[in-house]
Amino acid sequence: MKRPRIGLIGYYGYGNYGDELFHVVFRKIFHDCDLVTMQDNQTRPYYNKDLKEKIASMDCLLIGGGDLVIGSYWTDQYFEDPFLAKPIYIHGVGVPTWSREDPKIVERLAKFFRHKSVRHINVRDQESRAWIEEKLAPSVPVTVTSDMVCALDIPNPPKRQGPPVFGLITRKQMPGEIHWKNVTALCDKARSLGYEVKNIILGTGGDRTDDLVGLAEFPYPHMRTVQSENLVELTREIGSCDVIASMKFHGCVVSTLYGIPAITTITTDKFRNFFQAIERPELIAHHTHTNLADRLAPFMARIPRLTRDHLRRSAIGGLAELRRAMLDEFA
């Protein structure tokens, strides 16, 4: 029997931790299919001239996950007209509503989402669904499940001895943009409470290089830095911590899956929506907040097993429905 061919469209190949984990999840769910990354290049033009021929060789196209539904600019990556020649499944996406909207871009997105080729739309929070339903009026229902990384089988953390560990996850931003003074105060407080400070370089490939460039602005003398090109090793490094502070969303998500409280140091939509959903708004903070260090208490309540189980069931259920819909299409 011929194996179905699924063309995968998203922010893949750059080394961004969360997106590479999406790829792991999709490979697991579609283990009996050929999952083909559509994007050829990491800069424009993202697709080679034989794109239509490549599309023709697929049974369907899968777009996701992450904040791909952007109302302020067009990326030439995710919602191109040639894709509509095949059945389209959109899964695990979000909307960064903090960015301004361009009416022409929103109209172009709406045209795509209303097309008859779009068979399935799933988002990772209620706020994204509300925006898509209001602004794009898609032709199929929009379902909501937890971020699909919550479906991961996370590895057991390494056994360790010694002091508790405070994990810091940073990222490159514009030079001078990050308020390192507040981050320093947070790390100093962690050390005063008996934590060892560990900086986790969470990116791989090109993203890893960017993370290291950004870290050059923060020569904090009292921390050790760990890095790896292996996603499992990076995930285990998160699991070995007792508390996390992260500028990367999926650093917070994976920390939550381990039950480890994660203080955000960015407050974009996906951070706020996730922590409101798990009823831990006290963990939402930003590196610009002068009281950032106050978010680290002498005792930090872990994320309950009930919450983690709910996240996992929701993500797995959404992916199971995606698989059923696709296999019905193939049949």
8 Å CB contact between 17 and 169: no
How far is the C-alpha of 87 from the C-alpha of 55, rounded, in Å? 11
How far is the C-alpha of 270 from the C-alpha of 267, rounded, in Å? 8
The pair of three-digit structure tokens given for residue 62, joined into one six-digit string: 């899968």
What is residue 258's predicted lDDT score, i.e. its pLDDT? Answer: 98
Residue with tokens 């050929």: 34
Q: What is the pLDDT along the chain (331 residues), one digit of tens a residue?
A: 689 999 999 999 999 999 999 999 999 999 999 999 999 999 999 998 889 999 999 999 999 999 999 999 999 999 999 999 999 999 999 999 887 899 999 999 999 999 999 999 999 999 999 999 999 999 999 999 999 999 999 999 988 889 999 999 999 999 899 999 999 999 999 999 999 999 999 999 999 999 999 999 999 999 999 999 999 999 999 999 999 999 999 999 999 999 999 999 999 999 999 999 999 999 999 999 999 999 999 999 999 999 999 999 999 999 999 999 999 988 8
How far is the C-alpha of 289 from the C-alpha of 283, rounded, in Å? 13
Domains of the chain with CATH codes = 5-144 (3.40.50), 165-304 (3.40.50.2000)
